[in-house]
Chain A
Amino acid sequence: GEDVEQSLFLSVREGDSSVINCTYTDSSSTYLYWYKQEPGAGLQLLTYIFSNMDMKQDQRLTVLLNKKDKHLSLRIADTQTGDSAIYFCAEGRSNNDMRFGAGTRLTVKP
């Protein structure tokens, strides 16, 4: 199977919370990342979490990591239309290598 898996689509209403989930396979991953890609653009690093942490919060973003289950999630509070984009989960390996999921397309409806 794929190294990093994500569901492809998520649709929420403006003001609701969005939760994007990701599973990965490499238990030796040191950092896990969330990137945002807007149409026709490159990737923007949103946040990252060190593998020995359970949670990281940064303004509207909350990252939860369950290392035992190799499960990562990104919660966006008070989701806005400007949050509509593709969100990529990535695991960083010790050799500078990064593996990306296929991306979750978040659609925010007014």
Chain B
Amino acid sequence: GAVVSQHPSRVICKSGTSVKIECRSLDFQATTMFWYRQFPKQSLMLMATSNEGSKATYEQGVEKDKFLINHASLTLSTLTVTSAHPEDSSFYICSASLGGAIVNTQYFGPGTRLTVL
């Protein structure tokens, strides 16, 4: 159980275009979803935390207008990279938390590799 999917797994786009990444919890309802960015040989950097039906909370240094997060339902969150540039190329990983549990266990999606040309 506790499977999280992401779509697409890979995307290549031209500079200036927008890209949407979907994160779905397949067999549970996620009260909270997280978006991370991972650079090569580096740890995951938390970008934002989103709760269903409310605005996302962004980490310091993350541009809200560039990385739009929508958490429309308990099983779906989307990250839209607007006007993407080559420096936005990265591995984006989402996770979902069951919430209400003693253990704050996050279940991670397989990640989306974004390449901006």
The judgment on whether A and B are partners is: yes
The CA of A8 and the CA of B109, in the complex, are separated in Å by: 23
**Chain B's nearest CB lies how many Å from the CB of A101?**
6
From B32, B43, B95, B104, contact of A103 by CB (8 A): B43
**Chain B's nearest CB lies how many Å from the CB of A96?**
6
The CA of A42 and the CA of B96, in the complex, are separated in Å by: 12
Known: A43-B93, A96-B97. A102 touches B104 (CB 8 A): no
A100 proximal to B (CB < 8 A): yes
B90 proximal to A (CB < 8 A): no
Decide if A42 touches B43 in the complex (CB within 8 Å): no
In which size bucket is the chain B interface? Answer: 20 to 34
**Chain A's nearest CB lies how many Å from the CB of B86?**
20
Interface of A is mostly: strand
The CA of A45 and the CA of B95, in the complex, are separated in Å by: 11
Known: A43-B93, A88-B43. A31 touches B109 (CB 8 A): no
Decide if A98 touches B111 in the complex (CB within 8 Å): no
Residues B23-47 near A (CB distance < 8 A): 32, 34, 41-44, 46
Known: A42-B110, A98-B46. A92 touches B93 (CB 8 A): no
The CA of A100 and the CA of B34, in the complex, are separated in Å by: 13
Contact residues in A for B113 (Cβ distance below 8 Å):
40
Seen from chain B, the residues whose Cβ lies within 8 Å of a Cβ on chain A are: 4, 6, 32, 34, 41-44, 46, 49, 93, 95, 97, 103-111, 113
Seen from chain A, the residues whose Cβ lies within 8 Å of a Cβ on chain B are: 4, 8, 30-31, 33, 35, 40-45, 48, 50, 88, 92, 96-98, 100-103
